[in-house]
Amino acid sequence: MDLRAGDSWGMLTCLCAVLWHLPAVPALNRTGDLGPGPSIQKTYDLTRYLEHQLRSLAGTYLNYLGPPFNEPDFNPPRLGAETLPRATVDLDVWRSLDDRLRLAQNYEAYSHLLCYVRGLDRQAATAELRRGLGHFCTSLQGLLGSIAGVMAALGYPLPQPLPGTEPTWAPGPAHSDFLQKMDDFWLLKELQTWLWRSAKDFNRLKKKMQPSAAAITLRLKAPGF
Amino acid sequence: MLTVKTWIVQVLFLLLTSESIGELVNPCGYITPESPVVQLGSNFTAVCVLKEKCMKSYHVNASYIFWKTNHVTVPSEQYTVINSTASSVTFTNISLSNTQLTCNIRTFGQIDQNVYGIRIVSGLPPEKPKNLSCIVNEGEKMRCQWDPGRETFLDTNFTLKSEWATEKFDDCKTKRGTPTTCTLSYFPVYFVYLEVWVEAENALGNVTSDHINFDPVDKVKPNPPQNLSVSNSEELSTILKLTWLNSNILDFLILKYSIEYRTKDASAWSQIPPEDTASTRSSFTVQDLKPYTEYVFRIRCMKADGKGFWSDWSEEASGVTYEARPSKAPSFWYKIDKSHSHGTRSVQLIWKALPLAEANGRILDYEVTLTRWKSRLQNYTVNDTKLKVNLTSDRYIASLTARNTVGRSDTSVLTIPAYDFQATHPVTDLKAFPKDNVLWVEWTAPGKPVIKYIVEWCVLSDRAPCIPDWQQEDGAVRSTYLKGDLEESKCYLLTVTPVYADGPGSPASVKAYLKQAPPSRGPTVRTKKVGKNEAVLEWDQLPVDVQNGFIRNYTIFYRTIIGNETAVNVDSSHTEYTLSSLTSDTLYMVRMAAFTDEGGKDGPEFTFTTPKFAQGEIEAIVVPVCLAFLLITLLGVLFCFNKRDLIKKHIWPNVPDPSKSHIAQWSPHTPPRHNFNPKEQMYPDGNFTDVSVVEIEPNDKKPFPEDLKSLDLFKKEKISTEGHSSGIGGSSCMSSSRPSISSSDENESAQNTASTVQYSTVVHSGYRHQVPSVQVFSRSESTQPLLDSEERPEDLQLVDNVDGSDSVLPRQQYFKQNCNQLETSPDMSQFERSKQVSSVSEEDFVRLQQQQISDPIPQSCGSGQMKMFPEVSSADAFTGPVTEGQVENFEAVGIEAMVDEGMPKSYLPQTVRRGGYIPQ
């Protein structure tokens, strides 16, 4: 239990550190004068890449957790993982989001998720799993930087961590091993959902950016006529 | 107590040793810098500082310092005394070496003492690393490499650094063995730009390469596609479908592919157009392939945008396209057996198996159809590529198709003309030549439309018959190459036959070589005729098996043993050549080389000798010479015949009749008898070889007829009284045929010319106290056998019988006696001996015989007899007129005797010179 409490505190510090560092970064994917387009594409590809990574990582990790978590039709109710940022959202709400909010939600979600994954990293037993989790963490970190870069390119400020709304991975006093595994299970599941959602978000953003880029090109060419 | 002592000793020992070690270790001074690393080509200054204590104890200061590099003293010009305790040395333009530098002092008494030493290491600072590049093999960590620049001669560390804008990653330190490459310790995160650079550092400095910023996904080298498999389609015989497994990287990357293929036997790969495989896929259908052909495929992939690296090639996979119907009709030809009997012909239809490219599958069989004019079809199904049929003399149409599992080929049609068909219209200007290692044949088409051409060829050889191979060419073709395994340096006979609608035309032939070579052996030359100054050489044409090419010319080399070789070129059509201007009676060596376009080969050497004389030359010389000789001989004989009387007179002169001489008349004992035997009677027993010639002086002719008369008379008397004389012929003592002289019995010897003839009697006045006696001089050429009587008593007996008297024996005895005399008194002077002989009268002689008749006959008579001759002859010479014949006889004997005795005789020249009678 102490370990759990320690983990939670660790996550908190981790999140703080991430949020402290990232605002200083203008953009991870340096795209020069080409605008945000290429970095949005890169971020989109990165979500796909993370999906790919998570697919193999989740399989390994669920096997590590053991039955029933590694069973294909295991679909437990969401219990005890309330602090995890929820990717699922009402479609109308999602449509009503603007780019800045959309990017900010992504950013905030991955900031939290990264800290939780780092918690997994420390628990993982096998070296191969640790290596996979480590790489995934790095990649998630890259995604965070990438999102920050896109936001910077689009001129949006990074969301500031509010003391009141900071993620509270409240270590329940009666967290059993099973429930802990359930948390891990839901973490992986939520990660996957978020990656799907992000892919969607960035694809939408990508499509939205392309015409404007085309318009700029046209505008630039017009004086030539 | 003992332990306390031991403890004290130990403490003392420790104190002493530590004191002494401290003295030893504590140097007299030091050098700064302590361990310098100096850049090559730069200047370096070292300072040696002496300690006060040391200066005092050795009474030295800084000016006493001298420097050594690698035990060699540095010139003092490089020293600088800074103050009383410090001196520096400066080196300019340090070169690459590991130098040991020592600071020394020269103490009182010229003792050098080393103060301190350092080692100078020189090298270069690192150069800025260039050409930094990274690669990410799929599933592996990123590896970067760079060009480190020049050699530094120092330990140089390279560090590969990488970072994101938000995060620094762990450094990658190169390993000692691979200073130009490093593999990062973490898996790269794709789609996030990474900044990478290299830092190089050694004792002389550090330098950083240019930073490169890239997305690691653009450096990916994917794994090659797996499980490549090939499948064919029954519907389409020209396609093959490839399927494979892509790697997982496909989840987030778009790949493009490169597919290559080749037929199984080929070595070169063909590529499928890249634009057809520019996107992610896991299968591909290759089109436009040949039916029933095995193809080999391989595939690789890379990122579709072209950033990154191509994967390795996949493992090769092969597949066979499905069969199709044969694409071409087989080549079709026929051969007719020349013998034509009972109205049928034996015709062999032959065709070529379709090459795989045209068969498009496995040929199951061939269908042959024969059609005769207004007759029903004859069908044959054949597995082989030939069919023998018996046809009538009529014209036939043969058709052929090949069949495989899918279908049948087009039909080849061939007209077999009637028996009496006359082929015409051959191709013209038929030429064959090698080009590009194949034998080409070209021709000019005849004026008539040609359906196809049949090109046949075979190897011409004396050892094997001409077994033709053949190929068919289209009617439009004017040149082709022989599609067969031709051998080099073999003579090929090529025949081109045009085939017209009504049957084949006349064939045309040409010989060719794929590649000529020098002949295997040279021609064997020999002489056909050898004359005094010329030789006709001949040789046989080389057999075609050894020619190895077209014989262009021959070269005849001929030489004498010592002379230079002469070469003569002869056209290849000749088999004979005449070498002229040869030297007679000389040994010539000749050999011959045959030349093709590629070179020549010498034949064996042939040797012949030119005769000394030309043919008939000897005859031309010998025959006239013989004729001339014959003529001369004939003339000589004729001359002799004509002048026979003269010759006769010359050879057998009339002996002057002594009885007619005045002296003869003075002698009452000797009746004037003379006998001259004719030539026939001269040699009654043939043993008498020497001829005694009595030459009569021509002016002494007066007594001649009378002589003859008297001789005849004398002869008659002698025959009647004594018969034949045994003094002539036979062998003398020692079987010698020499004439011997017997002066004993003049009656006997009168039988022949050599018989003893008394021709003078000299009356001497007394010599000293001796009573002068009348000496009768007689000559004799009797060669009476003396010793033979012992050996051959029958002869003796015969003589006795004939003679009827015992006169022979006593004569022998006389001679024996004479021999004895000579032997017993060898020192008797010649004169005395001659006198003795000459003084023997006839009566005395008889007496002597009687006295010595009982004496034993000495065995060594021979020598005595031999010695006697000169005595007698000398006596003759000195004493009386000698007939010419006698002289000559004696001359011969005398010469011999003279040689025997070595005594000069004066009578010989006398008689010879005179040539006639010596007047008494």
What radius of gyration do chain B's Cα atoms show?
70
Residue B201 CA from chain centroid, whole number: 74
A121 has a chain B CB within 8 A of its CB: no
Task: Choose the closest CB to B166 out of A30, A56, A145.
Answer: A145
Distance of residue A85 Cα from the nearest chain B Cα, in angstroms: 23
Task: Give the C-alpha separation, B876 to B881, whole Å.
Answer: 8
Q: Name every chain A residue with its beta carbon within 8 A of the beta carbon of B215.
A: 29, 42
The confidence score (pLDDT) of residue A222 equals: 41
Which residues make beta-bridge pairs with B202? B205
Residues B220, B132: Cα–Cα separation, whole Å = 16
B303 to chain A, minimum CA–CA distance in Å? 14
Tell me which residues of chain B have a C-beta less than 8 Å from any C-beta of chain A: 164-167, 186-187, 189-193, 213, 215, 217, 248, 251-252
Q: Would the pLDDT of B245 be above 50? A: yes
- What's the token pair of residue B86? 């410090």
pLDDT of residue B320: 92
Q: Are B228 and B312 in contact (CB under 8 A)?
A: no
Residue of B nearest to A138 (CA): B189
Residue carrying the six token digits 């015709």: B347
Predicted confidence (pLDDT) per residue in B891-905, tens digit: 444 444 444 444 444
Q: Which residue has the tokens 């006769």?
A: B648
Distance (Å, rounded) from C-alpha B702 to C-alpha B430?
116
Question: Looking at the partner chain, which of B189, B193, B248 has a beta carbon nearest the beta carbon of A138?
Answer: B189
Q: Is B884 exposed, middle or buried (0-12, 13-18, 19+ CB in 10 A)?
A: buried
Which of B164, B217, B248 lies nearest to residue A28, judging by beta carbons? B164
pLDDT digits (tens, 9 = 90+) for B92-105: 888 877 788 888 88
Mean pLDDT of the B754-762 span: 51
| Nearest chain B alpha carbon to A137 | B189
Please report the pLDDT score of residue B317 as a whole number.
Answer: 94
Residues of A in contact with B248 (CB under 8 A): 52, 56
Backbone angles phi, psi at B569, to 5 degrees: -90, 135
Query: Is-contact B219 B263, C-beta < 8 A?
Result: no
Instruction: Kindly list the residues from chain A whose CB atom is less than 8 angstroms away from the CB atom of residue B167.
Output: 141, 145
In this prediction, residue B526 carries a pLDDT of: 85
Angle between helix B808-824 and B793-803 (nearest 10): 130
Nearest-CA distance B191 → chain A (Å):
5
Whether B228 has a pLDDT exceeding 90, the answer reads yes
Closest CA to A134 of A125, A119, A121, A116: A121
Residue-level pLDDT at B628:
93
Cβ atoms of A129 and A60 closer than 8 Å:
yes
Q: Is A25 on the interface with B (CB under 8 A)?
A: yes
- Token readout for B365 is 């069989």
Q: Which of A25, A43, A143 sits opposite B165 (nearest CB)?
A: A25
Residues 44..103 of A with a Cβ closer than 8 Å to B: which? Answer: 45-46, 48-49, 51-52, 55-56
What is the DSSP code (8-state) at residue B175? B
CA atoms of B164 and B195, how far apart (whole Å)? 6
pLDDT for B504 equals: 87
Mapped onto helix, strand or coil, the DSSP state of residue B626 is helix
**DSSP one-letter code for B484:** S
Q: Which of A21, A55, A145 sits opposite B192 (nearest CB)?
A: A145
* Max Cα-Cα span within chain B: 192
Angle between helices A127-154 and A37-65 (to 10 degrees): 160
Residues in chain A closer than 8 A to B165 (CB atoms): 25-28, 30, 145, 149
- List, edge to edge, every strand of the sheet that includes B317-320: B270-271, B255-263, B294-303, B317-320
**Whose CA is closest to B194, among B216, B166, B175?**
B216
Q: Would you state the structure tokens that stand for residue B96, as one six-digit string? A: 């690459």
Cα separation of the two ends of chain A: 73
- Give the residue-averaged pLDDT of B685-695: 50
What is the structure's pLDDT at B483? 86
Strand order in the sheet with B65-69: B37-39, B111-123, B99-107, B65-69, B72-73
Percent of chain B with pLDDT over 70: 69
Residues B56 and A157: their CA atoms lie apart, in Å, by 78
Between chain A and chain B, how many beta carbons pairs sit less than 8 Å apart? 72
By C-alpha distance, the chain A residue nearest B186 is: A135
* Chain B residue with the nearest C-alpha to that of A26: B165
Tokens found for residue B217: 């996904």
The pLDDT value given to residue B316: 93
Three-state SS sequence of B330-383: CCEEEEEEEEEECCEEEEEEEECCCCHHHHCCCEEEEEEEEEECCCCCEEEEEC
* CB contacts, 8 Å: B213 with chain A: 30
Going by pLDDT thresholds of 50, 70 and 90, the confidence category of residue B647 is confident
Give the strands of the sheet with B29-32, arranged side by side. Answer: B29-32, B44-50, B86-91, B79-81
> Mean per-residue pLDDT for B674-698?
49
Residue B753's pLDDT is what?
Answer: 44
DSSP B112-136: EEEEEEEEEEEE-PPPPPEEEEEEE
Nearest to A138 among B165, B186, B191 (CB): B186
- Out of B166, B190, B248, name the one closest to residue A22 (CB): B166
CB atoms within 10 A of CB B421: 14
CB nearest A139 (choices: B189, B213, B215): B189
A201 HSE (CA, 13 A, CB side): 27
| Distance in angstroms (rounded) separating the CA atoms of residues A122 and A117 | 9
d(CA B186, CA B180): 19
Q: Which residue has the higher pLDDT, A11 or B736?
A: A11
Residues of B in contact with A199 (CB under 8 A): none
Check residue A149 and give its pLDDT: 85
Residue A26 and residue B248: Cβ atoms within 8 Å? no
Pairing verdict, β B599-602 and B270-271:
unpaired
What is the pLDDT confidence band of residue B224, given thresholds at 50, 70 and 90? very high
Average pLDDT taken over every residue of chain B:
74
Structure tokens at B459: 């190897």
Euclidean distance between CA atoms B495 and B507, whole angstroms = 6
Partner-chain contact B191 A21, CB within 8 Å: no
CB-CB under 8 Å, A43 with B167? no
Q: Of how many residues is chain B composed?
A: 920
Burial degree of A193 (CB within 10 A; 0-12, 13-18, 19+)? middle
Confidence (pTM) = 0.56
Phi, psi of A98 (to 5 degrees): -90, 175
Please judge whether B189 and A135 are an interchain contact, meaning their C-beta atoms are less than 8 angstroms apart.
yes
Asked if residue B147 lies in contact with residue B131, where contact means CB atoms within 8 angstroms, the answer is: yes
Contact yes or no for B166 and A51 at CB 8 A = no
Tokens at B541, concatenated: 């044409």
For A173-221, the pLDDT digits (tens) are 456 777 778 888 888 888 888 899 888 888 888 888 776 544 444 444 4
- Rounded CA-CA distance B849/B542 in Å is 100
**Helix, strand, coil percent values for chain B (each to nearest 5):** 25, 35, 40
Q: Please give the pLDDT value at position B905.
A: 42
The Cα–Cα gap between B39 and B365 comes to 88
Question: Would the CA dihedral through B75, B77, B78, B79 be positive or negative?
Answer: positive
Output DSSP code: residue A100: H
Q: Is residue B789 scored above 70 in pLDDT?
A: no
- CA dist B910 and B907 (Å) reads 5
Task: Evaluate the omega torsion of the peptide bond into residue B33 and state whether it is cis, within 30 degrees of 0.
Answer: yes
pLDDT of residue B356: 81
Rounded distance between C-alpha atoms, residue B259 and residue B310, angstroms: 12
Task: Count the Cβ atoms, other than its own, within 10 Å of residue B273.
Answer: 8
| Nearest CA distance, B27 vs chain A (angstrom) | 57
Between positions 136 and 155 of A, the ones with CB within 8 A of B are 138-139, 141-146, 148-149
Given an 8 Å threshold on Cβ–Cβ distance, is A142 in contact with B248? no
pLDDT at B295 over 90: yes
| Set of chain A residues whose Cβ sits within 8 Å of the Cβ of B193 | 28-30, 42
* CB nearest A42 (choices: B167, B213, B215): B215
- With left for phi above 0 and alpha for psi between -120 and 50, is residue B503 left, alpha or beta? left
Distance from CA of B308 to the nearest CA of A (A): 16
Is B248 exposed, middle or buried (CB count within 10 Å of its CB: 0-12, 13-18, 19+)?
middle
Q: Has residue B108 got a pLDDT over 80?
A: no
In whole angstroms, what is the distance from residue B293 CA to residue B322 CA? 8
**Chain B partners of A148 at a C-beta cutoff of 8 Å?**
166
Most confident option among B235-249, B331-345, B853-867: B235-249
- Taking contacts as CB-CB distances below 8 angstroms, the residues of chain A near B192 are 28-29, 42, 46, 139, 142-143, 145-146
Could you say which of B167, B191, B213 has the minimum Cβ distance to residue A45? Answer: B191
User: Above 50 in pLDDT, residue B22?
Assistant: no
Read off the pLDDT of residues A105-135 as tens digits, 9 standing for 90 and up.
Answer: 888 888 888 888 887 766 667 888 888 888 8
pLDDT of residue A105: 87
Phi, then psi, of B56 in degrees rounded to 5: -70, -45
User: At residue B32, does pLDDT exceed 80?
Assistant: yes
At a CB cut-off of 8 Å and minimum separation 6, what does A101 contact? none
A43 backbone dihedrals φ, ψ, rounded to 5°: -65, -40
For chain B, percent of residues with pLDDT exceeding 90: 13
Q: Is the pLDDT of residue B490 over 70?
A: yes
pLDDT score for B669: 58
Q: Do A145 and B213 touch (CB under 8 A)?
A: no
Query: Contact B164/A52, CB-based, under 8 Å?
Result: no
End-to-end CA distance of chain B: 179
Beta bridge partners of B221: B137
d(CA B679, CA B753): 10
Q: Which two tokens stand for residue A182?
A: 């359930």
Q: What is the pLDDT of residues B347-405, one digit of tens each?
A: 889 998 888 888 888 888 999 988 887 777 788 998 888 888 888 878 888 889 999 88
**Contact state of A49 with B193 under an 8 Å Cβ cutoff:** no
* Three-state secondary-structure class, residue B776: strand
Q: Which residue has the higher pLDDT, B865 or A153?
A: A153
Please judge whether A135 and B217 are an interchain contact, meaning their C-beta atoms are less than 8 angstroms apart. no
CA dist., res. B330 & res. B339, Å (int): 28
Q: How close A102 gets to chain B, by Cα (Å)?
A: 21
> Does A198 contact B at CB distance below 8 Å?
no
Chain segment B320-347, per-residue pLDDT in tens: 999 888 988 898 988 887 766 677 788 8
- Looking at residue B326, what DSSP letter applies? -
Q: With an 8 Å Cβ cutoff, are B191 and A43 in contact? A: yes
- Chain A residues touching residue B252 (CB < 8 angstroms): 45, 48-49, 51-52
